[in-house]
Chain A
Amino acid sequence: MNVNKNMTPRYIFFSFIILFFSCQDKCNEYTTYVNSTPVYSNMESLRDSVYYDDERDINSPGKLNYKSGYLFISETGKGIHVIDNRVVSNPKKLGFINIPGNYDIATKDDYLYADSYIDLVIFDISDINSIKEVNRIKGSFQNYYENRMLFSENLGIVTGYNEEVIEEFIESKDCELVF
């Protein structure tokens, strides 16, 4: 009995403290976040953008393939640098094969095999100064892009993301949740 009597004021005190903290004012605030939405490109327009271009700077190199004095260096996701490496002390950039969605390379005889998103593309490299697309096996690597939700029949291929910074006004937000 005695113990209970002593405890009562303490309970009341703690209850007040809890009440005091839980009844804070509501506050207004701005939050910002990045909203990223996928950009789809039509596969046909990607297929039309394969061409042999002038040499360009190497920015983001990926795979290497060496064949008979010439070297192919992939520019991750963009295409292939063609390099004359017959004089190893002075390698020269000859040109650039523009291939959207390219990551890998293989070569045999007069032909180069490359991926372009879901397609396998075959190039004739017999004239190193005039490399030409000669065939394309469409949809060869479809699984990979489908499994990763990067390809849909209707929309095409995800080729990038639009990032938008969004500022939002939140009224009467519980201040306890503001970080």
Chain B
Amino acid sequence: MKIKSLLIYLVFLLSCDSSSDFSFGGNVSGDVQMSGESSGTGIGGSMARFTIKGDYLYTVDSYDLKTFDIKDKVNPMITSEVNLGWGIETIFPYGENLFIGAQSGMHIYGLENEEEPKYISSYEHVTSCDPVVVQDNYAYVTLRGGSECMGFNNQLDIVDISNLNNPRLFKTYEMINPHGLGVDGNCLFISEGEYGIKMYDKTDLDDLRLIKHFDDIGSLDVIPFQGVLMVIGSDGFHQYNYDCENAEMSYISTIPIERM
């Protein structure tokens, strides 16, 4: 009897401990495939130019990829500076690689040596603005046209990266005005600027299925995490519950933007 109650107490203790980090209710759907795999590292959106992988902070500006050693977190030390060409926009770490969104395409850099990322290959496309996220053997790249992006295409390119040395276009889907994006499990979220936020079921990459389209908000970038989609848009910060297994998405809350 005593042992039994002790066991129950132990189980209770353990369950409290594991849930203390995040107080999100609801289900934990699928594996979280955002930048920041380890619990201590924060998660950025797809438009990020700063990202942390392990003990290194990687930053991109319009030309350069810089690596900072942050083993001593208070005293970062720059370890390398790599020229990336032109029109560099975003950086996304996945596995042992960095995926860099540029106006000319997507560049892949290897982290065999974490202190000095090494160029592996590029996926070239028409000039446009293009954040990138990655899951398993595929990279998801949105291409957006417009004056500041110097292009005309508005689309999602799914790129097969199973051979990192030779990224190949798998399929293109037309979009309206795509900005940031996110993947989690079978869910793919696309920010459509002033045209709202979309949730796709990407179980079959040959046939993406649009589950939801909330067109009443502005959406520039997203972070999907443990069933909660955090959306930043021109009109505010919005949150939605999502469930990839049951193909559901519902509105939770907003912090509106105050125009000056």
Q: A residues engaging B (CB < 8 A)?
A: 57-59, 61-69, 71-73, 83, 85-91, 93, 103-115, 120, 122, 124, 134-135, 137, 140-141, 143-144, 147-148
Contact = CB atoms under 8 A, between A and B. Distances in A.
Contacts of B74: 111, 122, 124, 134-135
A113 B57 contact: yes
Contact of A144 (B22, B51, B61, B70): B61
Contact of B23 (A69, A72, A134): A69
Given A63-B47, A120-B76, A137-B76, A108 B66 contact: no
B62 interface: yes
B42 A108 contact: yes
A91 B232 CA distance: 13
B63 A90 contact: no
A57 B259 CA distance: 8
Contacts of B232: 61-62, 64, 73
12 contacts: A57-B258, A61-B233, A63-B49, A66-B223, A67-B41, A72-B42, A85-B230, A91-B237, A106-B51, A113-B76, A115-B50, A137-B76
Interface residues on B, range: 35 or more
A103 B48 CA distance: 9
B98 interface: no
Interface in B12-45: 21-24, 40-45
B61 A71 contact: no
